[in-house]
Amino acid sequence: MAQTGDPRLAEHIDSLRGALLARGRATRAELAADTGLSTMTVGKLLSAMELRGEVSQDETVKAASGRPSVVARYRGEYAHFATVTVCQREGRSVFAFSVYNLFGERVHRSEQAVDDVRQESFDTFFEQSAARGERVRLAVFALPGEIRGDSLYISDFEGLMYGGFLPRIRARWGVETLFENDVNAAVFGHPFERRGEESVHAGVYFPRRFCPGAGLVIGERILHGHGSFAGEVTFIHGPQAWAALDYGDTERVVRMISELLTAVGCTVAPQSTVLYGDFLTEELVRALEQRLRERFCGQFDMRLTGERDIAPDMERGARCLGLRKMRELLRRMD
Note the pLDDT of residue 16: 96
How much is the pTM? 0.91
Average pLDDT over residues 112-125: 94
Residue 1's pLDDT band (cuts 50, 70, 90): very low
128, 182 contact by CB (below 8 A): no
How many angstroms separate the Cα of 171 from the Cα of each of 60, 148, 175, 177?
43, 19, 8, 10
Write the pLDDT tens digit of every residue in 278-311.
Answer: 999 999 999 999 999 999 999 999 999 999 999 9
Write the pLDDT tens digit of every residue in 218-253.
Answer: 999 999 999 889 999 999 999 999 999 999 999 999
Mean pLDDT of the chain: 93
Residue 162's pLDDT band (cuts 50, 70, 90): confident
90 secondary structure, DSSP code: T
Residue 275's pLDDT band (cuts 50, 70, 90): very high
Q: In whole angstroms, what is the distance from residue 306 CA to residue 275 CA?
A: 5
Average pLDDT over residues 153-171: 90
Alpha helices in the chain (DSSP H): 9-23, 28-35, 39-51, 123-131, 165-173, 182-189, 234-237, 239-244, 250-268, 282-295, 311-333
The burial of 104, by beta-carbon neighbours within 10 Å (0-12 exposed, 13-18 middle, 19 or more buried), is given as middle
Write the pLDDT tens digit of every residue in 56-107.
Answer: 998 776 665 666 788 999 999 999 999 999 998 888 999 999 999 999 999 9
